Structure 1
């Protein structure tokens, strides 16, 4: 597949999703960019803003299988990955696969389950495989997790550990409708749909094989120059060097920024990455990988502020340097 064809398909996909997810095209584009590199996405925002709707719309438009897990305090790891069940009639153990065996997994309110259950997703999110009673099983490609959590409700929740946050390529905030017109458009659309779940009427724009081909195009056909690589590396190092930071992004964070920048370039119809592709995703890729020192955290310093300062301090390569 040529990069130009990928850009056209990406535009059609975003248009189709935007028919039901109204008012924030930027979030749709960034979620698609993450999906093109098999990246997991954490949606951190208030209830009722369409996070579940967005995940369902993505799976339908991309022609992928979709499963949803409602995370609760009594959820067990076996409820996610599956288990082996003894069958009396055959005298053997039968593997019962959990909902993780899908293409798009929605982990709804992921921080409501205890750490033991949250950790059941770690292997799947990073290695695209699960281990059930000593047997390792590969997940079908593509596979990525879309998780949601409420940033203001802490009662009965278990904050995600740094190890799990690091496995999310992007952390996105959906946000409220930006304008009055957007809010009215949502209400008008509900009257037009005559149902609460309009995704059931969405038709696939592509199929699974086409999406896999799009992923291969991003991986193999988008060039990244050495100055842009240095720009990513310097940006990440500047985040780590901030005196307010207890722990900064690991090399995995730099790799995440590299991958999503390639997807951004391809979606724009370019077979090469420019610094603007990196800047576009810097906050969503790096902010949640920053641990602020306690004394600064109490003062309200956030990872986003640290990343913003690092962006200002990092030399941006010019065309003549590439």
Structure 2
């Protein structure tokens, strides 16, 4: 009984921390409520997040603000066409003692902002793969563990813009969430302009640190989930596969490729975290649906028929509900 009470208290603590973090971020970021929610869920679920939107929507500012509020080490890497893998991971240099030593790159931090990640060629993008999956990097045959917690929060411009490269599918799959940012409403933009064209300085408070985040990540994994919710999540992912037995006629017509097992894992983890920050102690089907779009939208590939009929990936995902 005591362990149950402890877990309940821990869940309540996560919910309270989430609310405090949201309030603190709100001092700087106007609107974008669902975006902030998705980023925080990915952090507490030990995942990575991809933010997609045109320039000027405060993607970089959002990541910097989150790093400040969470009291974590933060490094920003500006992805450019001439960026090399060693610029991210680090490299070996010959020291004065004539021995090679490894100089750590910016990836050795708690939060990595991969800014405009799709403006660098795939070879450099792939340098993040091992770090995102294994939480380690290998240089000259030596594996270096990364400090925990570790997140990659990447920003991406729409691929229709000049000078962009599509992200490799293997790397896209390692992002838990693909979050799209839209333009602010008139009232929100009015508030943004008012806040950013004056001399007022916002003082941010640090809410939680690395140790608490790791504890909350473990808590999310320990949250119980019923079999029917598990089955619903796995079936939803199975329905995205045109060659699978669960595929509907619409999926076979509108999709060329579906999501893999990692999507099912992230749906369950995301639903658990969404439930806790919503004041519940176990997820239900609505929690799975709440995180489905940002988890699935970058894991399914539309067919020619979907593009011809103007069907977006989000509309196809809605049909799966």
Q: TM-score, normalised by structure 2?
A: 0.91
Task: Show structure 2 runs of 5+ residues with no match.
Answer: 1-8, 242-246
Distance 2:199 2:270 in 1: 34
Q: Is the 8 A contact 2:89 2:137 kept in 1?
A: yes
Q: Is the 8 A contact 2:81 2:121 kept in 1?
A: yes
1:141-191 CA-to-partner distances (Å, cap 9, x unmatched) read 11111111111543222111211111110011121113x221221122224
Deviation at residue 295 of structure 1 after TM alignment = 4.7
User: Are 1:281 and 2:291 matched, yes or no?
Assistant: yes
Q: Is the 8 A contact 1:18 1:28 kept in 2?
A: no
Task: Identify the range of structure 1 (301-310 vs 78-87) with the bigger mean alpha-carbon deviation.
Answer: 301-310
Q: 1:215 aligns with which of 214, 217, 229?
A: 217
Distance 2:297 2:33 in 1: 21
Let me know the Cα RMSD of the aligned residues.
Answer: 1.5
Q: Is the 8 A contact 2:157 2:164 kept in 1?
A: no
Matched with 2:191 is 185
User: Are 1:71 and 2:73 matched, yes or no?
Assistant: no
Q: How does 1:10-25 map to 2 (within 5 A)?
A: 10-25=18-33
Distance 1:154 1:52 in 2: 18
Q: Secondary structure at the match of 1:269?
A: coil
Task: Identify the range of structure 1 (299-308 vs 123-132) with the bigger mean alpha-carbon deviation.
Answer: 299-308
Q: 2:67 aligns with which of 50, 53, 59?
A: 59
Task: Show structure 1 runs of 5+ residues with no match.
Answer: 312-322
Deviation at residue 218 of structure 1 after TM alignment = 1.2
Matched with 1:320 is none
Give the number of aligned pairs: 304
Q: 2:158 aligns with which of 137, 151, 164?
A: 151
Q: How does 1:9-48 map to 2 (within 5 A)?
A: 9-48=17-56
Distance 1:82 1:136 in 2: 12
Q: TM-score, normalised by structure 1?
A: 0.90
1:98-157 CA-to-partner distances (Å, cap 9, x unmatched) read 111111101111111111100000111111111111111111111111111111543222
